[in-house]
Amino acid sequence: MKVILLAWRNIFRQKRHTAATLLAVILGIAGLVVFEGFLHQLMGSFRDSTILSGIGHLQVASRADYWKKGEYSPYSYALADHGKVEQSLQHDPRVLSVFPSTGFTCLAGAGTKSLSLLVKAFPNSRMYFSQKTNRRADASQLVPDKFYLGHLEAGEEPDPLQTGELYLGATAARILGVRPGDTVTLMALLPEGGLNGRDFKIRGLFTSPGFDRYFAYTDYKTAMDFTLQKAPPVLHILLRHRQDTAGVAGELAVKFPQDHVKTWQELAVYYRQVNSMFTTFLTIIQAILMLVTLFLLANSMARSVLERRREWGTLRALGTPAPAIVVMVLLEGILLGGVGGLAGLGVGYAAAGVINLCGGLPFHNASQLLSVDVVPEASLVGVAVLPLLITGALAALAPAWQAVKTQPADSLRELA
């Protein structure tokens, strides 16, 4: 207790010097909090929109190479037991919805113009286009049991009762010179090599950066009829909680060993790459911050111990054992790191609140300028403060040894 009390008071002894060290640590930690909070929100929203933009939490297919070759050429990938899979998940409280999808490539023609398209088909009730432009990178534009497929530039939302209609990418529509209400003819290759053609009424035009030149969406039933498929090639599963993904995937793999189950983590390759890049980036920043903090604290502790050399002699003369002095100096380092870390977290969270009140931080996503809220992870408290406590102790190790390595008489001879 006496050692802790002395250590605590000692860190505020050289007020100006301690304040300068603490300020540097606080600013570093606050910067880390804001940066981590920005990345956390950005990647969280990226993850959720990836899951709800055509992937789902889980997918079940009949063959493992479906995800490489079968997405737009599904004829040899029929999932024969899709009914059993759907039935087994029907009453599972973790599951929000299970639905099939298919896809095909085709040539789209309108008047004298034509264009190759990739068409993806989901049940109408599972497709969703946002009519508002959302400039905030968050989950507010997402609907948990539907796939968000882009911003509806013109036309109407999907109607569960209507079939044979098409949502065309806005750029593709401009190339073909069509608008909602017009008709386009799609021609697709059938399983046996024949061609099938059909007119589709355009219900809406969507924008989605990078996609609206090549993609179109129609309802699942129409696509199955058009491509003469009898069973869907894939099932999408949406869960109430993302954390259940591995559990449900494991159970499905046991129940349906002939099928192949993939999680969103496996399917979202781009998300994985970006997340890995940002995680590495954050780890490097954290490491640099810890090194700078170590240097600052070590410098501060070394100076503080050196200035008090005579005091170490006095304390030892009064009966303080050398190990207690080592503990005292280590505690000073730990407390300095801890106070800096906690204050840095406080300042960081306060700064995050202010940034969010002002509309978040700007972020360029393809052609869009988004606003990203700063939402630090709760685990950051441990991630930031625990290494700082260790850093504080490490920084104080050499000074602590310095404080006791000389005879008390040598320390007492030092000038105050």
- Chain residues that interact with other proteins, rule: CB under 8 A: 2, 6, 9-10, 13, 310-311, 313-322, 407-410, 412, 416
State in angstroms the smallest separation of the CB of 402 from other proteins: 16
Nearest-10 crossing angle of helices 380-404, 322-357: 150
Using DSSP bridges, classify how beta strands 195-207 and 183-189 pair: parallel, antiparallel or unpaired: antiparallel
State in angstroms the smallest separation of the CB of 23 from other proteins: 21
Distance, CA of 230 to chain centre: 37
State in angstroms the smallest separation of the CB of 322 from other proteins: 5
State in angstroms the smallest separation of the CB of 311 from other proteins: 7
When the beta carbons of 168 and 404 are compared against other proteins, the nearer one is: 404
Report d(CA 225, CA 360) in Å as an integer: 47
Nearest to 372 by CA among 31, 30, 140: 140
Nearest to 387 by CA among 331, 334, 351: 334
Report d(CA 372, CA 92) in Å as an integer: 35
When the beta carbons of 93 and 319 are compared against other proteins, the nearer one is: 319
Angle made by CA atoms 237, 265, 212, in degrees to the nearest 5? 75
Using DSSP bridges, classify how beta strands 165-169 and 195-207 pair: parallel, antiparallel or unpaired: parallel
When the beta carbons of 65 and 410 are compared against other proteins, the nearer one is: 410
Q: Is 10 exposed, middle or buried (0-12, 13-18, 19+ CB in 10 A)?
A: buried
When the beta carbons of 318 and 357 are compared against other proteins, the nearer one is: 318
When the beta carbons of 17 and 198 are compared against other proteins, the nearer one is: 17
State in angstroms the smallest separation of the CB of 13 from other proteins: 6
State in angstroms the smallest separation of the CB of 399 from other proteins: 17
When the beta carbons of 209 and 321 are compared against other proteins, the nearer one is: 321
Report d(CA 305, CA 369) in Å as an integer: 52
